[in-house]
Amino acid sequence: MSEDGKTSDAVDAQVLRSGTIRVRSEDDILRARQEARAVAEEIGFSTTDVTRIVTGVSELARNMHLYAEDGIMTWREIEAGRDSGIELVFDDEGPGIDDIQGVLRAEHSTSGGMGRGIQGTKKLMDAFDLTSNAEDGTTITVRKWQ
Ligand SMILES: Nc1ncnc2c1ncn2[C@@H]1O[C@H](COP(=O)(O)OP(=O)(O)OP(=O)(O)O)[C@@H](O)[C@H]1O
Ligand SMILES: [Mg+2]
């Protein structure tokens, strides 16, 4: 099952540079945060936007570690026309998300959490795309434009 998320943009972006972080421990979550912060600052995002981006990374990297144990965050500095931005992809081969619609409405949590991580992150970003199934695991792609 695939859900395109309302805010997903189909903008064709050029990738200027990219990097990956493997996330399988609490320390890796911290590293993912730090790297995303450094890249977002270098791109020139405002302090507020840097905080939004780092908050999103926290939520999605934590989910990967918590629910799939292991995953990869890929960051990309992107450009489309005069716009510059950041794309972050969180990819794991975990069990997948059963109730994608419920998760996007923040009505579903399997860990006793608030169930707001994904919904909150979607609000902080300009584009959000979620693909998840039991065979391939979960891939979440977010973008923020400057
Ligand atoms: N990478 C993933 N793999 C498998 N299931 C996931 C993944 N990410 C999220 N989920 C599922 O989606 C649900 C909702 O995630 P979300 O981050 O929105 O809330 P939460 O983690 O339950 O609580 P919170 O993040 O507010 O502490 C989770 O409870 C979990 O069942
Ligand atoms: Mg969560």
Q: Is residue 4 part of a domain?
A: no
Q: Is residue 84 part of a domain?
A: yes
Q: Is residue 82 part of a domain?
A: yes
Does ligand 1 come within 6 angstroms of the Cβ of 67?
A: yes
Residue 3 has a pLDDT of 45
Q: Which ligand is nearest to the CA of 109?
A: 1
**Residues within 5 A (CB) of ion ligand 2:** 63, 117
Residue 114 has a pLDDT of 66
Which of 63, 128, 136 is the best mutation target for the ligand 1 pocket, counting ligand atoms within 8 Å of the beta carbon and taking the most? Answer: 63
Q: Is residue 133 part of a domain?
A: yes
**CA of 80 relative to ligand 2 center, distance in Å:** 30
Q: Is residue 6 part of a domain?
A: no
Residue 108 has a pLDDT of 73
Does ligand 1 come within 6 angstroms of the Cβ of 114?
A: yes
The CATH number of residue 43's host domain is 3.30.565.10
**CA of 41 relative to ligand 1 center, distance in Å:** 28
Q: Is residue 52 part of a domain?
A: yes
Residue 1 has a pLDDT of 35
Q: Is residue 126 part of a domain?
A: yes
Token digits for 17? Answer: 């540079």
Q: Which ligand is nearest to the CA of 64?
A: 1
Residue 5 has a pLDDT of 39
Strand order in the sheet with 14-23: 2-3, 127-133, 137-145, 83-92, 71-80, 14-23
Residue 107 has a pLDDT of 74
Residue 8 has a pLDDT of 52
Strands 137-145 and 83-92 turn out to be antiparallel
Sign of the CA dihedral with 118 first, then 61, 96, and 92 last: positive
- Return the H-helix or E-strand segment holding 103: helix 100-104
Under-50 pLDDT residues of the chain: 1-7
Which pLDDT tens digit goes with each residue over 1-15? 344 433 457 788 999
Specify whether the CB–CB gap between 102 and 118 falls below 8 A.
Answer: no
Range of the domain at 45: 14-145
Q: Is residue 121 part of a domain?
A: yes
Strands 127-133 and 83-92 turn out to be unpaired
Q: What is the total count of domains within the chain?
A: 1
- Ligand 1: residue whose CA is nearest its atom 31: 110
Residue 24 has a pLDDT of 97
CA distances 97 to 20, 42, 77, Å, are 23, 34, 28
